[in-house]
Structure 1
Amino acid sequence: MIIDIIIYLLGILTMIIIIQAILSWLVAFNVINTYNDFVRQFLYALDRITEPLYKPVRKILPDFGALDLSPLVVLILIQIIERVLRGVQSGSPLI
């Protein structure tokens, strides 16, 4: 039961990271107007949610300039955690 809740929350976190990454691309290519108050607040909220996850990964990864791979690394880590939890839940080996 608790593992199901954790897996569900990890799924929500995955969607938040994907939405934040796509929106950051749209802002970088000037598709989204950041002068709009709602858009700016929404982007700020997403940044506040995801930044604590990205910060430790950014300390480890080398600097790639404008290319930020930390969302990809965090998504891979989330997938690994989900697999481990599903293995624990089913009682089978972890992989």
Structure 2
Amino acid sequence: MLFAVLCRDKPNHLNVRMETRPAHLEWLNGLNAEGVLKIAGPFLDDDGKPCGSMLLLAADDMEGAKKIAAQDPYAAAGLFETVEIKAYNWVFNNPEA
């Protein structure tokens, strides 16, 4: 199953994001190598600066998706104000369809 992980950064935490970014990218590269990561990227504010994240993950179930998301170095650094995880059906332009 696929799960969308929607994360909103805490206000005024861009420095936390930038300091943690190398570890976050390393973590994403590992998920990508395992075939777990399908899509990833930041949300941008009106000034074009990152203010959140969106990941599309493959997991067996919601609990599995939560466990994966909890391992994000951004989450461990306290960057996120909110994290929402939703089951997702990739209908259009899915390269695996």
Q: TM-score, normalised by structure 2?
A: 0.27
**Greater relative contact order structure (CA < 8 Å, 6+ sep):** 2
The TM-score with structure 1 as length reference comes to: 0.28
The structure whose residues are more often strand, as a share, is: 2
Which structure has greater helix proportion? 1
Which entry has the higher C-alpha Rg, 1 or 2?
1
